[in-house]
Structure formats: C-alpha cells, structure tokens
C-alpha cells in the first residue's frame, strides 16, 4: 500500500511501486484530467505538479511520488477556474484540447517561479507539444495572467 497526497487529500493505493503515476491517477484514483500522450515524457500531456514542480507522470514511478504533494488539473483551483484556465478560454488557446491540461499545469508552475515571464522564459518552460500549434496563443494567455498579477482586479 502506498500513501499519496493528491490535491491536498491523502489517498492510499495498492499498486506496484514501479507503476507510472499517470496510471495510478487515471485508473486507480479516477482523476482522468491528466492525459496520456506519448508514454516517453516528451509531449507533456501527462504533466502534474510534484511539490510544486511540473513533472511528466507517464514515466514517473508512483513510488517516487510518495510523501510529496501531487497536484493534478482537478486540484488546481478549489473555487472555480484558476486564472490560467480562464486565460486559456479568453485567448481561445485550445483547438483539439488534448494537450491543454498538461500545458496549463506547466504554465501555472512557470508563473509561480516567474510571475512576469519573458518570451524566452515562456519558450524555455513550455516544452509541451501541441499538434494544433497554438503556441502563440499560449504565450498570449501567459502574458495576460502575468498582466493580471500586476494589475489585480478589485
């Protein structure tokens, strides 16, 4: 039995320690927001946060996540949409949408490290692949959230 802290809640799973975290989340804990894309940590569709850092869960053994705080797209915001999710909608980022949960998780981690990222910082952090090619919209959405941070709404 492995104990995991997922979205602020302690969960126990009876799985092999080598099982990728992605499959534990999707198949054993009913958290389907994290997507399977490539299975080799290249595309980023499976990105979750592990102690606040974005990680690719498709190749991360679940045993490496025990005792750490795991955040999935389902746990990103307790009250409505996270500002990055809203910016994604406002800037019409998704097309097919498959990669978007991983992209959003990566963008949130970037903005936590760099509240006002440069284009170079965005390009360096956003290594997720999008077959629809919405990279320019992703950058606009990230800059919009960064602008909100400097001009908070009342």
Digit-coded pLDDT (tens) for 22-64: 999 999 999 999 999 999 999 999 999 999 999 999 999 999 9
Fold of 83-150: DNA polymerase; domain 1 (1.10.150)
Give the integer Cα–Cα distance in Å for 5 and 32: 17
Give the integer Cα–Cα distance in Å for 61 and 17: 6
Give the integer Cα–Cα distance in Å for 76 and 43: 20
Which numeric CATH code is attached to 2-75? 3.10.20.30
Digit-coded pLDDT (tens) for 74-131: 999 988 999 999 999 999 999 888 999 999 999 999 999 999 999 999 999 999 999 9
Which tokens sit at 142? 């990230």
Torsion of CA 48, 94, 41, 110, to 10 degrees: -50
Per residue, the 3-state secondary structure of 75-134, as one string, reads HCCCCCCCHHHHHHHHCCCCCCCCCHHHHHHHHHHHHHHCCCCCHHHHHHHCCCCCCCCC
Residue 78: the pLDDT is 87
Query: What are the boundaries of each domain within the chain?
Result: 2-75, 83-150
pTM over 0.85: yes
Residue 154: the pLDDT is 36
Residue 112: the pLDDT is 96
């Amino acid at each position: 039995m492995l104990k995991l802290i997922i979205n602020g809640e302690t969960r126990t799973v009876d799985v092999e320690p080598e099982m990728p975290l992605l499959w534990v989340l999707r198949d054993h804990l009913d958290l389907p927001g994290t997507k399977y894309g490539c299975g080799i940590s290249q595309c980023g569709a499976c990105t979750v946060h592990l102690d606040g850092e974005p990680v690719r869960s498709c190749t991360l053994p679940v045993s490496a996540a025990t005792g750490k705080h795991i955040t999935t797209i389902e746990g990103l915001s307790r009250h409505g949409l996270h500002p990055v999710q809203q910016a994604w909608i406002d800037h019409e980022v998704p097309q097919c949408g498959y990669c978007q949960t991983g992209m959003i998780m990566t963008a949130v981690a970037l903005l936590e490290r760099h509240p006002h990222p440069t284009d170079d910082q965005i390009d360096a952090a956003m290594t997720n692949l999008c077959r629809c090619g919405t990279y320019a919209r992703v950058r606009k959405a990230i800059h919009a959230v960064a602008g909100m941070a400097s001009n908070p709404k009342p």
